[in-house]
A and B are shown apart, each in its own frame.
Chain A
Amino acid sequence: MKKFAEIVLKLRTAIVVTTVVVTLILGYFIKDLKINPDIFSYLPKNDPVVKLFDYIGEKYGGNYLAIVALETDDVFSKETIERVNQLTNEFKLVDGVSYVTSLTNILDIKKGEDGIEIGKLIDEYNLPQTDEELKKLKSYTLSKDIYRGRLVSPDSKVTLIICRLREDVNKIEVARQLKEIVKKMNLKAKVHYSGLPFQFLDLTEIILNDLKFLVPIVSLLIIISLFFSFRSLRGVLLPMVSVLISTIWTLGIMSILRVPLTVISDIIPVILVAVGTAYSIHVVSKFDEELSSGEDKIKRAQSALNEVGVPVILAGVTTIAGFISFVFGSYLTAISQFGIFSSLGILFALIISLTFTPSVLSLSSPKRKMITLSENFSKKNGVARFMDKIGEWVLTNEKAVIVCATIVVVLCFIGIPKIERRVDMLDYFRPKNPIRITEEMMQKKFGGSVPVQILVKGDIQDPSVLKQMKKIEDFLKTQDNVHNPQSVADLIEEMNDVMDEGRMIPDSRDKVSNLWFLLEGEDIMSQLVNPEKTEAVIQATLGSVDTKRGRKLIKSIDDYIKKINDPSVTFIQAGIPMIYRNLDDSIINSQIRSLIIALILVFISLVFLSHSITGGLIGLTPIVFTLMVIFGFMGFAKIPLDIATVLVGSISIGIGIDYSIHCVSRFRKEFEKSSSELEALDKTLETTGKAILINVLTVTMGFLVLVLAELVPLRRFGILVAITMVSSGIGAITLLPAIILFSKAGFIGDFSRFINGAKNV
């Protein structure tokens, strides 16, 4: 460390210049940083379920539907139909839109007085004008299952314009263009935007707004609270600047590597601000402590670095251990990316606090000395007295502390099974968000928009295959929450009906291919059958994506498919429910895996620090306690495990462990010097304990700001990390000493040398 400090200070000018230059360069690249809220793009491309879903998307015009819903008193009005027609035509021209389906362009098969019509429901060159025409259109449209509840709500108050987006396009950009087209039209009708592309668009805006709004607030709060603790502007600004630099570096590198910010990694800047400041604070604080030694600035910086270097590195490394646990074997790419870049950010914060910060300190001339930790404590202010009290109380009631903690743990344990899991993207929006309101309306009036798909392989023009497809559709209709199953079999049935042969699949292949011929080239065909007619897809929608119900549906569909014993055709289930199921499994798996990895890494660091296995185990107790509290709280407070809250466990291990490390190492140092364990504990709590308290308050406040976020996972994340901080802080200053005293563990020192014991004090 000494050598390192020497080198740093020798190169101090170069370090400052390099840091500034690198920051400017990387900062420039941040302008290209993209936001990718498409949770489906976080899925691993090699998962068979994802592969199948992508395959269907590519082959059948895209899985992503951008739906514009117009709501009026009655959509069958001259004005609304005209508008629908205009929008349909304009949407069709947007690059990236593969198909548009609306009232004014949907295929209609009907028997009329003057023959059959295989045309459009509404002739766009001859839109209905008179009330009578509109009335006729209304009653006809509502009489057909393929329109009612699909394109028009049964109460005829809402009509949909459905755009299918190609797989290879930027869906957010297309959604933005569609929205602009609608806005330019100044519609009288109320407009709702539904479907994933519009949700992605809104999410992007929400993420950006949250970042722009929250990061400054978090920073400001931390600055203020640090200022009140240390009363030195520089002592506060320097840590903030170093965190800012590490944030710029991290985001800049993400941008260069073309890694977009996700719903998960948007937390990184907040985490860096909340966590990263501590490293520089230690350096600055120690630097000012050395002020009294009268040595010159370079020497002081050198010795400050020499002394705090190791603890700061250790604290940083354990925190990184918590974050890096996401990198290994994570199902979602976004989570492993989060692991990589948050670790990288913390590493940067660490490096900067050990190089840039001391260099700046040695170059600047402080006008006013910072109130150092030790000075602060020597004043015996309220906080210090409070810590004394805690020390005494713990010492005299160590068993009570342990019992209380056990009770809390047991209570929390009851809560753990109550934890819900959510993978539904809608859950990211607050209940009052227009997206949520729209989706509720869509669920009520159109049966939802979550696609359920069944891929059919076989000779699709074979009547027996078509009949089997129809049976599956009928089966789907009997399933709870499943709506609007549709396949080419329905079209063939309808065509058969207009040929006066009844609404059924004809018996001969010739008849099927005759009917088929007339449908060929229709937009809808390429969304339902491949050009070779060897593969088709049955599409349906699901009302909700409740995980339990989803699992039940997947199973009953699979069971049904298995029972079909026809060698000429195979059915394969696909769709969002299956992806959500895998996502759900992965959340549990990555929760367990990342917790285990993080615990092991932290345990190793603790063993390394205390040179004792017992020490490692005891050091872990506040963390295990905290984990129980978090998960218990999640169970009772109905905060679900989702792709953001799944991170909290490992992050709290990484952040919370610092308290244990500081406490244990201080206690050991004081133990050697003290005449009783009480004195050692008192000293520890007065110094490190108080530092922990300040840190807990600061960081908690920082994370609580996230409650203001528009993005729900961010809010949940904020609450949970705040609880983590409080709980692990309290755990470290009460439970940890209590256990040490109770166990008289040998790694601290020889307890037997205090013959009378501290109890009698």
Chain B
Amino acid sequence: MKKNIPFFMIVGLLLLANIKVLAQEKIFNANEILSKVDDVVNAPKDQTIKLKLILIDKEGKEEVRELIMFQKGSEKRVVKFISPASQKGIAFLSLPDDIMYLYLPAFKKTRRIASHIKNTKFAGTDFTYEDMEAKKYSEKYIPELLKKDESHYILQLKPKDGVKTDYSKLIVWVRADNFYPTRIEFYDKSNNLYKVMTREKIEKVGGYWISKESEMEDLKAKHKTKMIVVDIKFDSNLSDEIFTERYLSR
């Protein structure tokens, strides 16, 4: 993570200096674009986000969940559910090397969760554990620039050899001005589009770009998950103590 900070700062400075003009002038290649995307997405040192998850089934019925997420760098993360009441206090801790812990308040017990469940859906959402990973695209995928229009770069990402993934390719729309990915299409193993993620309300908060409303739609299951940012704080020097088993039960 650390090595990314200077990149972020450059990006930040560029943004301040009205990146729009510059971006249009310089022609980036696919690899450059992707690494800029990684930089923008993983820019904050730490973040505390209160999220509202809205699960929408094919009949349009909604189910709402609220959670708070603490993240430090790109690999340490705690997710705690706040509502509904029946799920209050359920917490996950993700640490580097795919280590994950789960706390169940009704049992007052923490259990380690095994790692090979990447393509399992996360807590009833349309995000799999793989989608939830704080990941760097450029580590997993080989990009190819398909198109550039006035406002977006359109990249095709194909997994590198040896990368375990549920997807055969991704098509990513990247904003030309700030390199924030706004739309990602996920293709299954036989190359059919089956999930679409869209990011809206892309705003700058405390110097970082963030999407306040994103949505993942599973086209086959006709199920949607909306993620709405209720509150967000960046770089508040989260203590390492938060990212421990012990803290989960608090």
Contacts and interface: CB of A to CB of B under 8 A. Distances in A.
Nearest to A105: B119
Contacts of B124: 517, 520-521
B114 A499 contact: no
B219 to A, nearest CB: 12
Contacts of A17: none
A510 B86 contact: yes
Contact of A119 (B117, B164, B189, B192): B117
Contact of B87 (A93, A500, A513, A522): A513
Contact of A118 (B109, B113, B188): B113
A521 B106 contact: no
A116 B113 contact: yes
B111 A510 contact: no
A90 to B, nearest CB: 7
Given A90-B190, A521-B121, A521-B124, A514 B106 contact: yes
Given A115-B114, A514-B90, A518-B102, A499 B120 contact: no
Contacts of A756: none
Contacts of A115: 101, 111-114
A511 B107 contact: yes
Interface in A193-228: none
A67 to B, nearest CB: 22
Nearest to A92: B188
Contacts of A515: 104
A133 interface: no
A117 B123 contact: no
Given A93-B190, A93-B192, A521-B123, A117 B117 contact: yes
Interface stretch (A120-128, A433-441, A553-561, A720-728): A120-128
Contacts, number: 91
B105 interface: yes
B122 interface: yes
Nearest to B111: A116
Contacts of B119: 124
A112 B114 contact: yes
B105 A116 contact: no
Contacts of B122: 521
B114 A116 contact: yes
B109 A89 contact: no
B50 to A, nearest CB: 19
Interface of B is mostly: loop
Contact of A513 (B106, B114, B123, B190): B106
Contact of B120 (A118, A461, A514): A118
A296 interface: no
B135 to A, nearest CB: 16
Nearest to A114: B112
B116 interface: yes
B107 A501 contact: yes
B250 interface: no
Interface string B65-109: 000000000000000010000110010000000000110111101
A508 interface: yes
Contacts of A114: 112, 114
Nearest to A513: B86
A511 B108 CA distance: 10
A112 B87 CA distance: 25
B57 interface: yes
A117 B90 contact: no
Contact of B109 (A499, A520, A522): A499
Contacts of B101: 115
A280 B125 CA distance: 70
A48 interface: no
Interface in B170-192: 188-190, 192
Nearest to A498: B111
A652 B63 CA distance: 62
B58 to A, nearest CB: 10
A329 interface: no
A514 B103 CA distance: 9
B3 interface: no
19 contacts: A93-B192, A112-B114, A116-B113, A119-B117, A119-B120, A120-B120, A125-B164, A506-B106, A508-B106, A509-B86, A510-B106, A514-B86, A517-B86, A520-B121, A520-B123, A521-B120, A521-B123, A531-B57, A532-B61
9 closest A-B pairs by beta carbon, nearest first, are A115-B112, A520-B124, A119-B117, A521-B121, A117-B114, A513-B86, A125-B164, A510-B106, A521-B124
Interface of B: 57, 61, 63, 81, 86-87, 90, 101-102, 104-107, 109, 111-114, 116-125, 164, 188-190, 192
Given A116-B113, A461-B86, A517-B124, 7 more contacts: A93-B189, A117-B117, A120-B117, A498-B111, A499-B104, A511-B106, A517-B86
